[in-house]
Amino acid sequence: MSILDAHREALDLIARRSRTRRLIPRAGADFASNDYLGLAQAPELRAAIAAALDRGVAIGAGGSRLLRGNDPEHEALEIEAAAFFGSEAALYFSTGFAANSAIFSTLPAGRDLIVHDELIHASVHEGLKLGRATAVAARHNDPQAFADAIRRWRDAGHRGRVWIAVESLYSMDGDIAPLDDLAALADREQAFLVIDEAHATGVFGPDGRGLAHALDGRENVVTLRTCGKALGGEGALVCAPRPLIDFLVNKARGFIFSTAPSPLAAAAVRASLGLLRTQPERREKLARLIAHAGHSLPASGSQILPVIIGEDARTMDIAGRLQARGFDVRGIRPPTVPAGTARLRISLTLNIDAAAVDALAAAIRDYLP
């Protein structure tokens, strides 16, 4: 018997279910990343990093924000981000996962209810586990299901605050939430609406301010905007009324006890926000690519195109065959997506062109009816 047997057996079970995860190198045409605007390798961001180094910006923060890790670059980014997105205040986290975990483990009270979309990000579920509020799932993109969940909770005699949690653009299906209806529901119920804009930031809205741009600045709206996708950098920004941001600074353990993000990363995100304003052609080019892809691949209305296959092993086999032909397409299996909906997640970015999209579509037709 070995002390590692239990872990080996668990890994064997994962393998038998065709759900083993492995790290594989980048190779082939990029149909897998979230670098939607092609900013991760942009010369403008390289120049911004070089300029930050020249003016003495540190590589590492050296501590948490509440100790000595609070850098002028962090504060400048938060001020600029709040102004850009139209919120009263912003707070910079090291990752979107950390930010979502902090929001849902900290802001709702134990007497409160969180109604979340059934397809919400895993990072939200992590925050729900750490928090004290009651959490229930509502049918995907169905405002009436959210309203029904709230009504049942109220009818049971509960009088806490309600929090509605959704993504504006869903990361595995590419579909868009009915934000206006959800905002109206939040207003009627005097509830908070938390909108994860991870995959919409930079791609949609005026200057790339996202699908929730018209809702920012309301006292009952919190938005999360990750910086490692269309913005090409890293970290995440929570945009919210000042009291909620101050509450996170005082109570969010994931913020208080974590080393602050790199000041250089903050400098890069500041540059990315500037590029959203000055280079609208990036969004326009991506919009044309999305429209073009809709002629040969399943259209979703966004840059995320799921090709549902269903069976886990077959999904990974097709993904492997496409990779061998020079297309970096990844298979997505449960529990990341619901059982029976394993898929190829095709991501459109400015790292590929229309010809590459056409070639991928032709290749997929070789394996699917």
Which residues are part of the catalytic machinery?
Answer: 34, 121, 167, 171, 196, 199, 229
DSSP code of residue 221: E
Give 176's DSSP letter.
Answer: B
Residue 344 near residue 319, CB atoms below 8 Å: yes
CA distance 262 to 61: 5
Q: Are 288 and 294 in contact (CB under 8 A)?
A: no
Could you give the C-alpha distances from 324 to 2, 27, 58, 318, 338, in angstroms and in order? 37, 9, 41, 10, 27
- H helices, E strands: number in the chain: 13, 12
CA distances from 161 to 112, 114, 134 (A): 5, 9, 11
CB 148 within 8 A of CB 170: no
- Supply the DSSP symbol for 111: T
